Amino acid sequence: MKRIVSVSSCLALTVGLALPASTALAQDLPAPPPDARGVDQPAPVASATNPAVDYLQKRFGISQADAIERLEVQHLVTSQLGGDPGKPYDDVWLEHEPQFKVIVTFTDKSDRTVFVQSLDPKLRKYVQTRVVSKTRKENEQALELVAGVLNNAGLKFDAGFYPRTQKVIVTVASNQDAQRARGLIPNDLNGLIQVRVGPLVMNEQSTAPVGAQTGDFAQGGMTIHHSFPDREEGQPWCTVGFGVTYDNGKQGIVTAGHCGPPLHLYIVDHYIRLGDPVVPLSQSFNGIYDYAIYSVGSASVRNLVEYKDYNAIPQFPDRGTFRVTNWISGGSARVGYATCKSGFTTGITCGEVLSTFVGSGTNYGYVEVGNSIQERLSKPGDSGGPWFYYINGSTDVYAMGIHSRGIPRGTTCSKEACRAYYMPIDRIWAHNTSVRPKTN
């Protein structure tokens, strides 16, 4: 039987009319429904099944023990094959089928025995080395070249480099667009570029904070709301990504830039109206950037991600929290990683990293997740939510990114056909080097 964690707080977002005083906030805006309120005074769930274990078991038909070992290997890849600028190899990814292995690529045929022997034995037994003709950087540059050509022709598309196939895949919405795209690809890149038809990944959606009271808090996974006049009153709209610190210890939250201000936090029985973004949206919601940081004033920020389970994960609570203990950069995220996100609309969902260099138009550098077992990997309302992966045997997670895009409302999308993009969390540092996820 599932255990229900007590509930009593949440986030709320309001667009339109300014709310002048903290005492009027609770009167002017409706209290959100119970399922949109955050988890107050949470205790991380120590006995819960890891959702990523459940995902790997069902997705690849393996035992729980095998799924746990794959996540342990994934963590070893992060710690031993991360984004080291002095690395002797070119790229790394995981393959789950037909057998589980870790692929490490090189661009020459020099002896790689010493490198392999330097790895942890548990990781080493899964490592296979390959020689590739082009570096990852060369393939990414070819993608950006083709994207510029297609964008100038007025095509709507998304695209990414997929190292498992060593191909750039361009997705368009119709056979007619596919025919046009193929005709525009330079001849010398025909062997690298693959065009397919399918649903496109798209966005789903100077003042100080006012109204904070003693004991107020914020944490990842909380719900953001719109209210009148732009949307149905109190309707959920976006999700908080992570609690963050910035500028020598100031506390705030980060969500998607396209969620837009103003934001409101709903705390027990009142709202905190947040002010302008710390980084102007002209910088943080532009091209490869889709984030916004907001101060929470005197409220405290927790190193927690809260979640809701709408997918009947075995031996897993309906609601709860996980601790954020560390983060990994976009350069250290690897194809094949099992990763999960917490969003208001779809709750906690998991999938597999398919590419770490995808985008739309001429803006590339997002991470794509797909191959989900859930009916829908994300929906409107999940925007801004946290992507993370679990540390086995604990309730700890590593922050990976901020949910940016998914298959939009009204477009057919089911299980493996669904895809989602997140912005790597370390991209925030480009605009404010002091920002870091709140960890313990």
| Same domain? 182 vs 250 | no
| Same domain? 295 vs 168 | no
| Same domain? 252 vs 323 | yes
**What is the total residue count of the chain?**
440
What tens-digit pLDDT sequence spans the chain (440 residues)? 343 333 222 333 222 223 333 333 434 566 666 666 666 656 666 556 689 999 999 999 999 999 999 999 999 999 898 766 678 899 999 999 999 999 999 998 888 888 899 999 999 999 999 999 999 999 999 999 999 999 999 999 999 999 999 999 999 999 999 999 999 999 999 899 999 999 998 876 544 556 667 777 888 998 876 543 344 444 557 899 999 999 888 999 999 998 877 777 777 777 777 778 999 999 999 999 999 999 888 888 999 999 988 888 887 888 888 999 999 999 899 999 999 999 988 999 999 999 999 998 889 999 999 999 888 899 888 999 999 998 876 788 999 999 999 987 777 777 777 899 999 999 999 888 899 999 87
| 225-248 pLDDT, tens digit each | 654 334 444 455 789 999 999 988
- Note whether residue 1 is domain-resident: no
| Same domain? 172 vs 217 | no
| Same domain? 408 vs 309 | yes
At 68, which amino acid appears?
A: I
Domain's final residue, options 198, 229, 247: 198
Q: CATH no. for residue 368?
A: 2.40.10.10
175-184 and 136-152 helices, crossing angle to 10°: 110
| Same domain? 248 vs 175 | no
| Same domain? 141 vs 276 | no
Cα–Cα dist 438/399, whole Å: 10
Q: Is 313 exposed, middle or buried (0-12, 13-18, 19+ CB in 10 A)?
A: buried
Domain's final residue, options 144, 176, 198: 198
Cα–Cα dist 91/107, whole Å: 10
| Same domain? 230 vs 375 | yes
Q: CATH no. for residue 176?
A: 3.30.300
Q: What is the DSSP letter of 326?
A: E
| Same domain? 332 vs 366 | yes
Instruction: Name the residue with tokens 């101060």.
Output: 295
| Same domain? 188 vs 209 | no
- Note whether residue 281 is domain-resident: yes
Range of the domain at 324: 9-16+35-48+203-437
| 172-231 pLDDT, tens digit each | 999 999 999 999 999 999 899 999 999 998 876 544 556 667 777 888 998 876 543 344
- Note whether residue 73 is domain-resident: no
